[in-house]
Amino acid sequence: MATTVHEPPGLIESRDPSRLKTSSGNGGGWRILVPEGGNLRSVQEYAPPPSSTAIWVLVAAISMTFAALTSALIVREGGAMDWRHFTLPSVLYVNTFILFLSSVTLEIARRRVAEFMGALRNRAESPIRWLNVTLALGLLFLGGQYLAWRRLSAQGLYIATNPSSSFFYVFTAAHGLHLLGGLAGLIRVIHKVNRHTLRRSTLDATVRYWHFMDALWVYLHVLLWMKL
* Structural domain contains residue 35: yes
Are 150 and 110 members of one domain?
yes
Residue 119 has pLDDT above 90, yes or no: no
Are 53 and 37 members of one domain?
no
What is the rounded distance in angstroms from the CA atom of residue 91 to the CA atom of residue 146? 10
Q: What is the largest CA-CA distance in the chain?
A: 77
Residue 136 pLDDT level (bands cut at 50, 70, 90): very high
Average pLDDT over residues 77-95: 88
Are 87 and 21 members of one domain?
no
Question: How many independent structural domains does the chain possess?
Answer: 2
What is the rounded distance in angstroms from the CA atom of residue 208 to the CA atom of residue 128? 18
* Structural domain contains residue 84: yes
Top-confidence residue, 102 or 76: 102
The residue segments making up the domain with residue 205 are 49-227
CB 216 within 8 A of CB 179: no
Max avg pLDDT among 18-22, 42-46, 124-128, 209-213: 209-213
Residue 46 has pLDDT above 50, yes or no: no
Max avg pLDDT among 44-48, 53-57, 191-195, 219-223: 219-223
What is the rounded distance in angstroms from the CA atom of residue 109 to the CA atom of residue 63? 26
CB 33 within 8 A of CB 201: no
pTM: 0.76
Top-confidence residue, 49 or 219: 219
Residue 71 pLDDT level (bands cut at 50, 70, 90): very high
> Distance of CA 122 to CAs 5, 28, 109, Å?
46, 11, 17
**Mean confidence (pLDDT) of the chain:** 81
Residue 86 has pLDDT above 50, yes or no: yes
What is the rounded distance in angstroms from the CA atom of residue 113 to the CA atom of residue 219? 29
* Structural domain contains residue 5: no
